[in-house]
Amino acid sequence: MNLTFSQKEKLKNILFQVCVGLFCLVMLYPLLWMVSGSLKSSGNALSATLLPDAFRFQNYLEGWKGFGGVSFATFFRNSLFISGSATIGQIVLAAFSAFGFTRTRFIGQKFWFAIMIATVLVPMQILRIPQYIMFNNWGWVGSYLPVILPQMLPVPFFTFLMVQFIRGIPSELDEAAEIDGCSKFGTFFKIILPNLKPVLVTAGIFRFYWSWNDFMTPLLYLQNVTKYPVSIALKMFSDPNAVTNWGAMFAMTFLSILPTMIIFIFFQRYLIDGVSFSGLKG
Amino acid sequence: MNNKFEALDTVRSLDKGMDRKKWLKKNLVGYAFILPWLIGFLAFIAYPLLSSLYYSLTEYNIVGDPSWVGLKNYINIFTDDSKFWLSLKVTFYYVIFAVPLRLISALGLALLFRKARPFTNFYRAAYYVPSILGGSVAISVVWRQLFSSQGAFNDLLVALGIMQNRISWIGHPNYAIWTLIILAAWQFGSPMIIFLAGLKQIPKGLYEAAEIDGAGKIQQFFKVTLPLLTPVLFFNLIMQMVKMFMVFTQAYVITQGGPLNRTLMYAVYLFREGISFGHLGYGSALAWIILVLLTIVTVIIFKTSNKWVYYQSEGE
């Protein structure tokens, strides 16, 4: 059978759609299964079928009640507070230090920059025990401080990303501003910061994700149920020995990833650009 | 280059007799900008890192003060701690399977998405989703149920007639770790995006040239694509390896290190020993051992990299 070039292309396209589409379904199955499980009646919630036997939105109401008299409203508020502050702190600190590393000159600049990059190789888990001892001595255990403050410390990659970005902004702009009487701080806020927006968004989203999903730090430092973020609450709520209502468990699991998904849908370009950049310039 | 200019710059400004005050101010402004980072770095990274080296040489339990014991913790770990060896074995097993599986899936899909076809953007995003959920508790919770004895995976196997009896995959000493490895392989999104970006950088002309020379698609992959992609592959390898060596949440939530400690990842063991049991000194020693080990593995990969990573000459 002789196919013309365009027919061949068409055939290839169909083959691609079928294979990639089917595999996509397999990939997304665990997530779809979770969503469908959140609607199934309790006895049926773990069955493999993706079509729920019922649409029990009640599962959500039941799950939302939480446990120990604390509802998921509290857990979500806590998570928002933790992730929100960590994100804002991170963005501000990363932008400040990136500006310091590019647009000012001071003794030891290269050295500190190298140190900053080198911290990428220190796995955070290594620091847990000494940090715990330190925060314990400071009397911080039980509060949000040890959870939030270390997360404000910019991830080296973001500072690096911003450094690269600032280098791309023509320095004539700075000079013009300085002639107009802008101080370094003025230049930073009026010239550089507005231009940094795309990188700030990328860094912000990733920080938000990591803080939102962070499990180990709150596990270590928070002792009071009313302070728990969603990640810890979900772990408790889903304890296999305690769960009786699987539908409600899936409902809360789904709600816990909803913020992540919504941000992804709106900002995926920023995420994908950020990740691509890390591989090419990192 | 920049270094030289900077040095020149400094020297020149000093020569010109630039006001000491001005020079001081310049430095202060610079430090003012990096100060928040510097404080954070010293307080949350540098000091803990150094103090943990000290703690690792002490016996220190959560109540009481550290008392100097020299290398005792290290000697005990190496000679008298079967769980340490087990957790190392488990972690290496996990890394050795999970990293290549993730990277191969990532590369395979990236190759498929290279050419723009209808819906490619949608697929690319969909395949990336598992990755953004990363180490979230939510995914671990779903995974635990998926592979539990009542879970959907058993449903499927029974329906296909592969198995008659349901088993708990996460409770089985031999299979439990594989539920974690599959989870790791499932989350190949970010290396995939990085591979895609790398593929886009390969000049089209090279393929045309290869085709003229009579190279088939497979040959083109091995002679053009793969060599030019090795820098990106190298980056992905290092990043994913470091990440997976320290995997915590998944193992902690899905299997709790069990059954029979067969999924006792190093980070889980470290947490259990150092924090849950409150053996702060012993735990610090465990932390330093994995840090050194990770560094050694990274250095080995770096050293071998000039044998297999292909860098295009910098000049145009």
- List all residues 6 or more positions away from B229 whose beta carbon is below 8 Å from its beta carbon: B107, B195, B198, B199, B202
Angle separating helix axes A230-237 and A72-103, nearest 10 degrees:
140
pLDDT at residue B2 tops 70 = no
Residues from chain A contacting residue B30 (CB–CB below 8 Å): 100, 104-106, 109
Amino acid at residue number A68? G
Residue A104: closest CA among chain B residues belongs to which residue?
B30
Q: Which two tokens stand for residue A64?
A: 């939302």
Q: Which candidate from A24, A105, A133 shows the least CB-CB separation from B123?
A: A24
pLDDT at residue B14 tops 70 = no
Amino acid at residue number B50? L
Q: What pLDDT band is residue A240 in, cutting at 50, 70 and 90?
A: confident
Q: How many CA atoms lie within 13 A of B144 on its CB side?
A: 26
Cα separation, A274 vs A158, in Å, equals 9
Question: Is the complex ipTM more than 0.95?
Answer: no
Q: Which candidate from B30, B126, B193 shows the least CB-CB separation from A276?
A: B193
Pick from B73, B41, B38: nearest CA to B55: B73
Distance in Å from the first CA to the final CA of chain B: 19
Q: Does A131 touch chain B (CB under 8 A)?
A: yes
Cα distance from B127 to chain A (closest Cα, Å)? 7
Task: Map residue A245 onto helix, strand or coil.
Answer: coil
Tens digit of each residue's pLDDT (9 = 90 or more) over B119-155: 888 999 999 999 988 789 999 999 999 998 888 898 8
For residue A34, the model assigns a pLDDT of: 93
Q: DSSP alpha helices (H): ranges in A43-108?
A: 58-64, 72-103
Which of residues A68 and A230 earns the better pLDDT score? A230
Cβ within 8 Å, pair A125-B246 = yes
pLDDT at residue B184 tops 90 = yes
Residue B27: closest CA among chain A residues belongs to which residue?
A106
Which of residues B162 and B281 earns the better pLDDT score? B281
Asked if B194 and A275 count as a contact pair (C-beta separation under 8 A), the reply is yes
Residues from chain A contacting residue B137 (CB–CB below 8 Å): 213, 215, 231-232, 234-235, 238, 256
For residue A281, the model assigns a pLDDT of: 61
The secondary structure of residue A53, as a DSSP letter, is: S
Q: Which candidate from A110, A129, A246 shows the least CB-CB separation from B287?
A: A129
Q: Classify domain B72-130+177-308 at the CATH class level.
A: mainly alpha
Q: Which candidate from B29, B48, B253 shows the least CB-CB separation from A131?
A: B48
Q: Find residue A70's DSSP bridge partners.
A: A67
Asked if B252 and B268 count as a contact pair (C-beta separation under 8 A), the reply is yes
pLDDT at residue B5 tops 80 = no
Cβ within 8 Å, pair A109-B30 = yes
Residues from chain A contacting residue B40 (CB–CB below 8 Å): 93, 149-150, 152-153
In this prediction, residues A101-121 reach a mean pLDDT of 90
Q: What pLDDT band is residue B277 in, cutting at 50, 70 and 90?
A: very high
Q: For chain B, what percent of residues have pLDDT higher than 90?
A: 58
Q: Can you give the residue ranges of every domain in chain A?
A: 71-281
Q: For chain A, what percent of residues have pLDDT higher than 70?
A: 98
Distance in Å from the first CA to the final CA of chain A: 49
Tens digit of each residue's pLDDT (9 = 90 or more) over B39-87: 999 999 999 999 999 999 999 988 888 999 999 999 999 999 999 999 9
Q: What pLDDT band is residue A95 in, cutting at 50, 70 and 90?
A: very high
Q: Can you give the residue ranges of every domain in chain B?
A: 18-45, 72-130+177-308
Pick from A72, A76, A28: nearest CA to B132: A28
Cα separation, B124 vs B128, in Å, equals 6
Helix (H) or strand (E) holding B12: helix B2-15
Tens digit of each residue's pLDDT (9 = 90 or more) over A187-218: 898 888 988 888 899 999 999 999 999 999 99
Angle formed at CA B293 by CA B288 and CA B294, multiple of 5 degrees: 100
CATH no. of A71-281:
1.10.3720.10
Asked if B176 and B263 count as a contact pair (C-beta separation under 8 A), the reply is yes
Q: For chain A, positions 35-64, list CB contacts with chain B under 8 A.
A: 37, 46-48
Please give the full DSSP string across A172-195, using - where no structure is assigned: HHHHHHHHTT--HHHHIIIIIHHH
Cα separation, B279 vs B273, in Å, equals 6
Tens digit of each residue's pLDDT (9 = 90 or more) over A130-142: 999 999 999 999 9
Asked if A165 and A94 count as a contact pair (C-beta separation under 8 A), the reply is no
Cβ within 8 Å, pair A127-B41 = no
